[in-house]
Structure 1
Amino acid sequence: MQEPLLGAEGPDYDTFPEKPPPSPGERTRVGVLQSKRVLLAAFAAVLGNFSFGYSLVYASPVIPALEHSLDPNLSLTKTQASWFGSVFTLGAAAGGLSAMVLNDLLGRKLSIMFSALPSVAGYAFMAGAHGLWMLLLGRMLTGFAGGLTAACIPVYVSEIAPPGVRGALGATPQLMAVFGSLSLYALGLLLPWRWLAVAGEGPVLVMILLLSFMPNSPRFLLSRGRDSEALQALTWLRGADADIRWEFEQIQDNVRKQSSRMSWAEARDPHMYRPITIALVMRFLQQLTGITPILVYLQSIFDSTAVLLLPKYDAAIVGAVRLLSVLIAAVTMDLAGRKALLFVSGATMFAANLTLGLYVHFGPKALTPNSTMGMESVPVAGTEQPLVTPTSYLTLVPLLATMLFIMGYAMGWGPITWLLMAEILPLRARGVASGLCVLVSWLTAFALTKSFLPVVNAFGLQAPFFFFAAVCLVNLAFTGCCVPETKGRSLEQIESFFHSGRSVLH
C-alpha cells in the first residue's frame, strides 16, 4: 500500500529524521547569522524583488490617472486599461521562460544582474511615454525583468542560506516585493505617474552595484566544476572562522551525484517529477487565489465599492498591512513550519474573498462608480443595493476584507510558495524547473488579469471573489495531501526524501 506524502510527524511516520546525525556543520550553524555577509548577499539579490513588486502594482495608481488624461494619445479606454494592467504578466511569463536557460547558463547571480537591462529600459519607456505603445512596451519589459528575477532570486537565496535560517531568508524575496509595492502606493500619493517610473530606476542600479561584489552560488559553481571558486564563495558566506568542511563535502557529494543535466527520460522518474509537480501546482494555485488582479486593480476595485476613505489611501493601507504580514511570516516560518502557515493562509484568504463577494452582492453601492470597472451602475442579479454615504461604517468592509486577504496571502501562500519552489526542486532540474514554475505562474496571472475586467463588467464584481474563495478551499486540500514540511532540513536532505520512493498520493 502506498504511503501518504508527508503526513503529520509521529512515531510511526516521519518525513525526515528530526535531527540529522551530529556533524561539524551543526556546531557552526549557531554562528552563521553572525556572518553579516550572508545577509548582505541576500539583500543585494532581493533588491530585484523590490523592483518587481514596485513595477507589478505600477498600474494601480496610473490607470485612474491615465483614464482622465487630457492627452488623447495617453487616455485609456476600458480595453486599453485591461491590457496595460495585464501585459506585465505576459512579460513576466517570458522572463520565466528565459530563466529556464539563463539560470543554468549564466548562473543565478549573473541572471539576476542581467534582469537590470530590461528593467531600466522599461521604466525609461514609461517615464517618457507619448503613446500607448510605449506604455505597453515599458510594462512588458519590466514584467520580463520581474519574471526573470522571480525564478532566479529564490534559488540563489536558498542555495547560499544555511538550513537553520533558510525559512527566514527565503521569505525575504516576498518581503522585498511587498515593500516595493508599498513604496509605489506611498509615492503614488505624492508623485505624478511619470516620476513614479523614474523612481523605479533607483533600486535596480543599487542592486547591480551590490551584486557586483557578491559571490555566486556555491552549488552552481560546483555543478560547473569550479570547485576552488565554490570553496571561496562558501568561505566568504560563512565567515573565515567557520568550519565549512562538512557542509562543503555534503554539497559536493550531492553535486557529483547529479553531474549531468536532467534528460526527458529522467523527468519521468518519480523523484524528479513529484517535486516539480508539487512546485508547479502550488504556483498555479497561488495565482488562482486572485492576488495579481487584486493588486493590479486595487485602487479601481475600491473606486467601484462604497468605501469610507479615498481609494488611493485604502490602497496604501493595504500595502502596509501586506508588509507587516510578510514580516510576521519571516519570523514564524522556521518556528511554526511551512504547512501550518499555509493552512492558516488558505483559510484566511477564503474568509476574506467570501466576505468581499457577499459585500459586493448584498451591500451598498458606490455613489460614483469608477469608469474602469463600469459595472456597478445597475443592481446585480435583481438585488436592490442601497446607496450609502461615505460616512457609513459599513463601507469599511471592503477595506477590512481586503486587508484580511492580503494578510492571509502574505503570511503563507505568498512567501512560502516561492521558498518551497527553491527548496524541493532537484538540483539537476532547479534552473529549468524554477523557470517553468514562473512561466506557469505568470501565464495564469495574465489570464486572470486580462479577464478580470470583462468578467466584472459581465457578471459583477462579486463573481471573481466567489471564484477565488472556491480556489482557496482547493489550496487547503492540496496542502494537506501533497505539500512537504521542509522546516530545518538541508536541501540535500529534502532531495534525499524524494529519492526514498514514497508516493505523492495516497
Structure 2
Amino acid sequence: MFMQYSVFGSVLTVGGIIGSLVNGKIADLVGRRRTMWLSELFCIVGWLAVAFSKHAWSLYLGRFSLGIGLVLMAYVIPVYIAEITPKNIRGAFTAAFQFLLTSGLSVMYLVGTVVSWRALALIAAVPCLLQIIGLFFIPESPRWLAKVGREKELETTLQRLRGKNADISMESAHIREYTQTFEMDSKVGIFYLFQRKYAYPLVVGVGLSAMQPLLGATAIQYYASYIFSEADFSTKIGSISLAIIQLPVIGASVLLTDRFGRRPLLLASTIVMCLSLAIIATAFGLQGTHRWNEVTSVLVYVGIMGFSVGYSIGLSGLPGVVMAEIFPINMKGLAGSLVIFIHHCINWTITFTFHFMMEWSKTGTFSIFWVICAAGVAFVTFLVPETKGRTLEEIQASITKLSRR
C-alpha cells in the first residue's frame, strides 16, 4: 500500500524531472509565449487522462503529463513576467503568479470536497483551455526578442507594454546593449555554467530551489491529509484550513515584496517554518505519552498552519522571483533547466520516501526537516542577494562581477 501511495505521489515529480531537462532550452528556442502554450497542452492531456482513466497506468500517465506541463509553466511564467515588467513593480507581479496559483489550488481543494475526482480533473482542464486562448492576446518578451535579433518587434512590443506615449528609447537601448554583451560571451553547453563568474548566481538559484522540498514543503503539501490522520486530527478540517489560510498570506507577500525586499521576506519565512517544524516534531514526540497525548493533534494542526503561513509569505513564490532576476540572458535557459532539474530530483526523493520516513519515526522525520530549515535560515542570511528596485541588467551585471572576485 505504501509503495502504491509513493509511486502515485511521486510520478508527478518524475514528469517534472523530464520537463526540467528541456524547459529552459524550449523557452530560449521558441520563445516564452509558445512555451506557455506547450505547457497548457501537456496539462490538458494530463487532466483528460486522469478524468477518463480506467486503469492505474492511465492515472500515472496523466500525472506524468501534468508534471511536464507544470514544470514548463513554473519556469517560463516567472521569467516572462520578470522580463516584461518595470523594476518598481517586478517583484509584486512575479510573486502574483504564486498567489494566483495558490488561489487555484485552494479552489480545487474546496471543490474537491463536493465533487468526484473525475469531475475535478475535468474542471481543472477548463482554465488550461482558457489560457491557451488568452495567450493569443499577450506580447512576446522584449528581452527574448532582443536575444534572437528581432529588433523591430522589440520596439513594438516594448511600446505596447509601456504605453503608446511612453519614451522607450533608453530602456530598449539598454536591453540591446546588455543582451549583445552577454550573447558575445555565450557558449553552448551545460558545463559552461560552471565557470567562476556564474558560481554565485548558480549557488543562490540551486540553494533556494532545493530549500523548498528539503524543508518539508513538498511533504506537507502532498501528504497533509496523511499527516493530520497520523495525528488523529480531522483531515477535512485540516485540508480546508490549509486551503483558506494560504490565500491572504500570499496576497500579503505580493504587496510586501517590492516594499521590504526579497531577502527580508525569505528570512522571515524560513524562521517561521523552522519554529513550526519544531512544534510538529515535538507534538509527535509527545504522541503516545499518557499526559500529553490529547494535545498532539492540536499541536500538529498549529504547526502545519504556522508552517503554511511561513512558507506562503516567502519561500513559496520568492525563489522563482529571485531566479528570474539573477541569471543573465545568455545562460537563463541552461541555468533554469539545471536548477529546476535539481529541485524536482529532490522533490521526487521526498515524495517517494516520506511515507517510509514517517513509518520509521514521525518525530525523526520532522526533526530532520527542522535541522535543514535552520541551515536554510543561515543560507538566506549570508548568501541571498537583495534585488529590489534594480533593473534585470543591473542585477545580473553586478552578480556576475561579484562572482569574479
TM-score range, shorter chain: over 0.9
1:339 matched to 2:240: no
Partner of residue 483, structure 1: 384
CA contact (8 A) 2:13 2:347 kept: yes
1:469 matched to 2:394: no
Separation in 1, partners of 2:192, 2:217? 34
- Larger proportion of helix: 2
Unaligned runs of 5+ in 2: none
Aligned match for 2:187, one of 262, 266, 270: 262
CA contact (8 A) 1:215 1:233 kept: yes
Separation in 2, partners of 1:469, 1:386? 22
SS in 2 for 1:443: helix
Partner of residue 154, structure 2: 230
Partner of residue 305, structure 1: 231
Partner of residue 425, structure 1: 327
CA contact (8 A) 1:272 1:426 kept: no
Separation in 1, partners of 2:315, 2:236? 25
Partner of residue 286, structure 2: 362
Matched to 1:405, the amino acid is F
Separation in 1, partners of 2:192, 2:353? 37
Q: Report the Cα offset of residue 220 of structure 1.
A: 0.3
Matched to 2:263, the amino acid is K
Equivalent runs, 1:189-204 vs 2, <5 Å: 189-204=113-128
SS in 1 for 2:187: coil
Partner of residue 10, structure 1: none
SS in 2 for 1:271: helix
Q: Report the Cα offset of residue 401 of structure 1.
A: 1.4
SS in 1 for 2:22: helix
Separation in 2, partners of 1:119, 1:268? 33
Question: What's the CA shift string for 1:103-157, capped at 9, x where partnerless?
Answer: 1111111111111222111111111111111111111111110111111111111
Separation in 1, partners of 2:14, 2:194? 29
Aligned match for 1:178, one of 85, 96, 102: 102
Q: Report the Cα offset of residue 387 of structure 1.
A: 5.8
Question: What's the CA shift string for 1:357-394, capped at 9, x where partnerless?
Answer: 1101104xxxxxxxxxxxxxxx5xxx567664xxxx76
Partner of residue 241, structure 1: 165
Equivalent runs, 1:93-242 vs 2, <5 Å: 93-242=17-166
Partner of residue 46, structure 1: none
Distance 1:493 1:209, change over 3 A: same
Distance 1:502 1:131, change over 3 A: closer
1:492 matched to 2:385: no
Moved more, 342-351 or 494-503: 494-503
Question: What's the CA shift string for 1:424-478, capped at 9, x where partnerless?
Answer: 011111112112211111111100010000111122x222211111111111111
CA contact (8 A) 1:275 1:426 kept: no
Equivalent runs, 1:254-403 vs 2, <5 Å: 254-260=178-184, 261-264=186-189, 266-307=192-233, 310-363=234-287, 379=288, 388=294, 395-403=297-305
Partner of residue 445, structure 1: 347
Question: What's the CA shift string for 1:208-247, capped at 9, x where partnerless?
Answer: 1111111110000111110111111111111111111111
* TM-score normalised over the length of structure 2: 0.95
Separation in 1, partners of 2:365, 2:154? 48
Unaligned runs of 5+ in 1: 1-76, 364-378
Larger radius of gyration: 1
CA contact (8 A) 2:197 2:404 kept: no
CA contact (8 A) 1:152 1:434 kept: no
CA contact (8 A) 2:286 2:292 kept: no
Q: Report the Cα offset of residue 498 of structure 1.
A: 2.0
CA contact (8 A) 2:2 2:356 kept: no
CA contact (8 A) 1:96 1:150 kept: no
Partner of residue 405, structure 1: 307
Separation in 1, partners of 2:197, 2:134? 37
Separation in 1, partners of 2:98, 2:255? 13
Separation in 1, partners of 2:36, 2:172? 24
Matched to 1:404, the amino acid is G
Partner of residue 372, structure 1: none
Q: In the comparison of the two structures, how many residue pairs are matched?
A: 403
SS in 2 for 1:171: helix
Question: What's the CA shift string for 1:17-60, capped at 9, x where partnerless?
Answer: xxxxxxxxxxxxxxxxxxxxxxxxxxxxxxxxxxxxxxxxxxxx
1:435 matched to 2:337: yes
SS in 2 for 1:222: helix
Matched to 1:176, the amino acid is L
Matched to 1:351, the amino acid is L
CA contact (8 A) 1:103 1:432 kept: no
Distance 1:256 1:177, change over 3 A: same
CA contact (8 A) 1:344 1:408 kept: yes
CA contact (8 A) 2:224 2:239 kept: yes
CA contact (8 A) 1:104 1:432 kept: no
CA contact (8 A) 1:289 1:471 kept: yes
